[in-house]
Structure 1
């Protein structure tokens, strides 16, 4: 690991100022991904500003939303009674997203900022990685890419966004609150991440030194039902081949409201807007669910190693929709 200077911050303004002023300085919270990347030589900050003592932890509730401090751990959010009752697919995504040990360390802010699970990005001996070394190429496109994306890809990068909980967050129109050198911002999660296009190294809209302070998560209507399904190679802790987060409100067999997002297939948490349009006003039956799945996967750009994900994603979405609709019948 490259030597670095360590600073423990006790004031958010000071922490933001220190990181903003130096492009070689980074924030440190749970560190469950960041420290691994530093050990592997992918990241080499000259200074880390530890923010774990900042007052950015806890969950507040209103009638319409919960606001989660960025330093709240995955386990703490999963244990929240309102999440259990009103946002079950968020809880399911959290519990399926990491082992118990990691959930007690990993923060919600850090989870949203976790880096790509691309084997080539994480191996500095591989020269061709546009995310790590802009302009160098993408070794994954011609290499082993079974765990990579089929939606939102470009000719420059097919790396997958690996967060589980970001999938239901995207479906719920969660909002990311930040503090930076230019003040505070509130950014819809669906606008927070950037597709790779020709700049895969720029993954989100944050400025250097801008700190996630909280995530605001709207609550589902009381009549809604939701579910998160994660398909993976093994039952124990593993990243998703495909996942789906779905919430429905039905009345007399008709879908009044639908929220759909996919994981394991996109370069960012994939909000399936077209699938939602198909579902609204349709009967809650398998025919409508299959049509929604077809709409959700329009525009997929699979490579030979990821071609299986197209059909797998469709079947996973249909299964999730059937599960949710069955719970409402």
Structure 2
């Protein structure tokens, strides 16, 4: 059947393709089914325990996954401290410095996993599993987390400074940053809905309260009652690190109130409110839909989390499985 030179060449090409593209290069919900079958429940238990003493931790953990995936893909580079070959840490980049948190919980998860199945579960997969656990334990949707990522060998502080969407940016810039990693407008709106729980420091939105875009006046899209509340909580001479609920109505619950807030001009961050207040944007109808239909939001959010988790993962023999999420093996 494969007697002709062309057929033999075709067979050799197919064999080479299969050799270069091993089956484990595809993320899979069952990746650890034989090597660490309890991985998901171990992660969930540690997150659940952490939530008992820190109501913010769920939002903090999903933010780590988000900020990781937008820089070099989902490779746990955000977890690396300075040391060895790592001279600049993403932890010290502007979007993360003094605001990214939850690293101790990630370390606790890693310790528990290493005790159960040493050298098996990557730190990148820990971030993906912890994000899902954080959402579902807070009343949000659940989804089958695709697994099989490996951990990166480098950090990219410069990339963190430029690639992670900023709360001060306009919708066009943020849309471009999502597009750059293969995520569309629906992903942008759905993933922004993670701001339905957690806190934000005054310094990330105080510009909206007193001198928006150098006008000397507040952001006109802010609800006047909400504006007065925020001005009292974040005075001009106050502590920029003071915390405010991203969703004042249900700050620790994962629901669709975030979108109802936007419709009522009560979005805390500029980047949030612009999803609804930018005239003619395709995001407006999506915000309205999610505000009226929590089920639609939950379904879209779960799919968008899977989409985000698929950003440039290291698989197969790429990278490594770190034994300590804070540093490269052997450093």
TM-score (norm. length: structure 2): 0.28
Larger radius of gyration: 2
Which has the larger strand fraction? Answer: 1
Which has the larger helix fraction? Answer: 2
